[in-house]
A = this chain, B = another copy of it.
Amino acid sequence: MDQQKTPLYSSLVQHYRHYLESFHVPGHKFGAIFSPKGLTFFRDILKLDATELTGLDDLHAPESVIAESQALTAALYGVNHSFFLVNGSTVGNLAMILSVCGEDDLVLVQRNSHKSIINGLMLAGAKAVYLSPEFDPEVRVPAHVKKDTIKAALEQYPQAKAVILTNPNYYGMAVDLTEVIEEAHKRGIPVLVDEAHGAHFTIGSPFPKSAVECGADVVVHSAHKTLPAMTMGSYLHVKSNLVSLEKIRYYLQILQSSSPSYPIMASLDLARHYLAMIKQEGINEITKQIQQFINGLNEIPQIKVVYSKHPEITTDLLKVTVQTRSSLSGFELRQQFEKHGIFPEMADAHNVVFVLPLAKDFHLDKTLKNIKESLKDVQSEGFKLPDIPDHPYGKIAEEPISYRDLKTYSQKVVPFHEAVGYKAATMVIPYPPGIPLLMKGETIMKEHIESIQQLIDRGARFQGSSFIFEKQLEIYT
């Protein structure tokens, strides 16, 4: 297939160029009507903000230009089918889960999954066995699930309808999933991978091995995260005999707007085009420039670029994790950078994560100077990283959580210290990285409460519970 083509984007442009009179939605009529305040930024994109007009296909029943653009994407990624998503990887995760499991079906799920994975299980009323990840002592974050953990779970739960993994994690740490996927496939169990942060892994070396290459059945990609696509633009890829394309299509149609955004879809077409046009020399140059950036960062005494030393982990070149070597926490380090106009992706207690672009000539030398400048008054003398508290990420869930049963319990809100021993009635999600610290239905331990308290003290934000900052939690009774 000719990857130079952009069937959807090109038809939108053609429609606009030949275009005369719009008597359809949207109400802005290709930008002819709009709040004058916003025209500077919106004028051009509104020319492509169309609807399901003749010739522009229909995302929910694609036959022409959307079908072609999706087919080009599938060809590039080497899968049977690619779906364009306009509601982020969130909707991809929800749809892939709903398509493989119904009420009370058991699934094996990585403990440090994005909240959309857990929400999918809840909507399905599934029964989840959570697999605890390894904790990485260098980066100080939860990472992958060990092969042995997955194999033991497959052994213990042969009735599982799916294995649901996240790879890489938010910090770009990835493992080769081939072996565990083969193990699951031997038992006829499909493996679904949330590879939100790895839409570019298909390039190959020096990037980690992609989930598709490892043999995953369904893979979800946030195209907007590492490729140049508009926010909310994602892909869902299927290469499997074990899952139903029709069911995935069905749930995507339910969970996505019946008026999907053409600009977002067109940006997915263009992001695929961008990715397809990258040449080996480009990759080499990007690699060289990022390596120089990292070397420069490591000359700054108040910070250190950290990587996992785990032999199985490969870290994405585009994710650079900087760890504090000063009295500043990761959160404070970010504030310091932001004061100097440098906006990183996220911070945790000890780290700040930079997401670098899949492009060369991004003025990384200038950024390096700014970072040095931003830290010049920060002391690094006598610094020691605090001990890592024994936190609940590492605990193995004792029993499956049945999301169907949870629906029948009643709830109340209690102070932190009274919550211990009860089942949590809400997820507690420090954000970023959006990994649930407490899951709905999970028994609350003293360690959970301590971790929440620490995160509050260190300035984290939370999604899920709305009572956290009043030091209260929702519980099931």
Query: Which A residues have a C-beta under 8 Å from some C-beta of B?
Result: 6, 9, 13, 18-29, 32-35, 37-38, 40-54, 58, 60-61, 86-91, 94, 102-103, 114-116, 119, 122-123, 222-232, 246, 253-264, 266-267, 270-271, 273-274, 277, 335, 338, 340-346, 354-359, 362-363, 366-367, 370, 407, 431, 434, 461-463, 466
Closest to A462 in B: B61
Instruction: Choose among B258, B277, B343 the residue that contacts A114 (Cβ–Cβ < 8 A).
Output: B258
In the complex the two chains form, is A274's CB within 8 Å of B35's CB? yes
In the complex the two chains form, is A34's CB within 8 Å of B228's CB? yes
Count of this chain's copies in the oligomeric assembly: 2
In the complex the two chains form, is B33's CB within 8 Å of A359's CB? yes
Taking the closest CB of chain B, its distance from the CB of A336, in whole angstroms, is 12
**Which residues of B have CB within 8 Å of A58?**
431, 461, 463
In the complex the two chains form, is B45's CB within 8 Å of A263's CB? yes
In the complex the two chains form, is B13's CB within 8 Å of A41's CB? yes
Closest to A271 in B: B35
Taking the closest CB of chain B, its distance from the CB of A326, in whole angstroms, is 19
Q: Known pairs A18-B341, A25-B345, A33-B359. 14 more at Cβ < 8 A?
A: A9-B37, A21-B342, A21-B363, A23-B342, A23-B344, A23-B345, A25-B225, A25-B355, A35-B270, A37-B273, A40-B44, A42-B267, A61-B462, A258-B434
In the complex the two chains form, is A230's CB within 8 Å of B261's CB? yes
Closest to A253 in B: B463
Taking the closest CB of chain B, its distance from the CB of A134, in whole angstroms, is 24
**Which residues of B have CB within 8 Å of A356?**
23
Instruction: Choose among B43, B47, B231, B466 the residue that contacts A259 (Cβ–Cβ < 8 A).
Output: B231
**Which residues of B have CB within 8 Å of A367?**
21, 23
Bound-state CA distance A225–B29 (Å) is 10
Bound-state CA distance A448–B226 (Å) is 48
**Which residues of B have CB within 8 Å of A21?**
341-343, 363, 366-367, 370
In the complex the two chains form, is A61's CB within 8 Å of B463's CB? yes
Residue with the highest number of chain B CB atoms closer than 10 Å, among A45, A231, A267: A231
In the complex the two chains form, is B29's CB within 8 Å of A357's CB? yes
In the complex the two chains form, is B26's CB within 8 Å of A341's CB? no
**Which residues of B have CB within 8 Å of A354?**
23
In the complex the two chains form, is B273's CB within 8 Å of A260's CB? no
In the complex the two chains form, is A22's CB within 8 Å of B343's CB? yes
Taking the closest CB of chain B, its distance from the CB of A314, in whole angstroms, is 20
In the complex the two chains form, is A27's CB within 8 Å of B226's CB? yes
Bound-state CA distance A431–B52 (Å) is 10
Bound-state CA distance A123–B254 (Å) is 9
In the complex the two chains form, is A23's CB within 8 Å of B355's CB? yes
In the complex the two chains form, is B23's CB within 8 Å of A343's CB? yes
Taking the closest CB of chain B, its distance from the CB of A76, in whole angstroms, is 13
**Which residues of B have CB within 8 Å of A20?**
340-343, 370
**Which residues of B have CB within 8 Å of A434?**
258
Closest to A367 in B: B21
Instruction: Choose among B44, B115, B341 the residue that contacts A19 (Cβ–Cβ < 8 A).
Output: B341
Taking the closest CB of chain B, its distance from the CB of A65, in whole angstroms, is 15
Bound-state CA distance A284–B254 (Å) is 40
Closest to A38 in B: B270
In the complex the two chains form, is B259's CB within 8 Å of A88's CB? yes
**Which residues of B have CB within 8 Å of A407?**
102-103
Closest to A43 in B: B44
Given contacts A19-B341, A20-B343, A44-B41, contact A26 B231 (CB under 8 A): yes
Taking the closest CB of chain B, its distance from the CB of A306, in whole angstroms, is 16
Closest to A53 in B: B343
**Which residues of B have CB within 8 Å of A43?**
44
In the complex the two chains form, is A24's CB within 8 Å of B355's CB? yes
Bound-state CA distance A363–B356 (Å) is 48
In the complex the two chains form, is B264's CB within 8 Å of A261's CB? yes
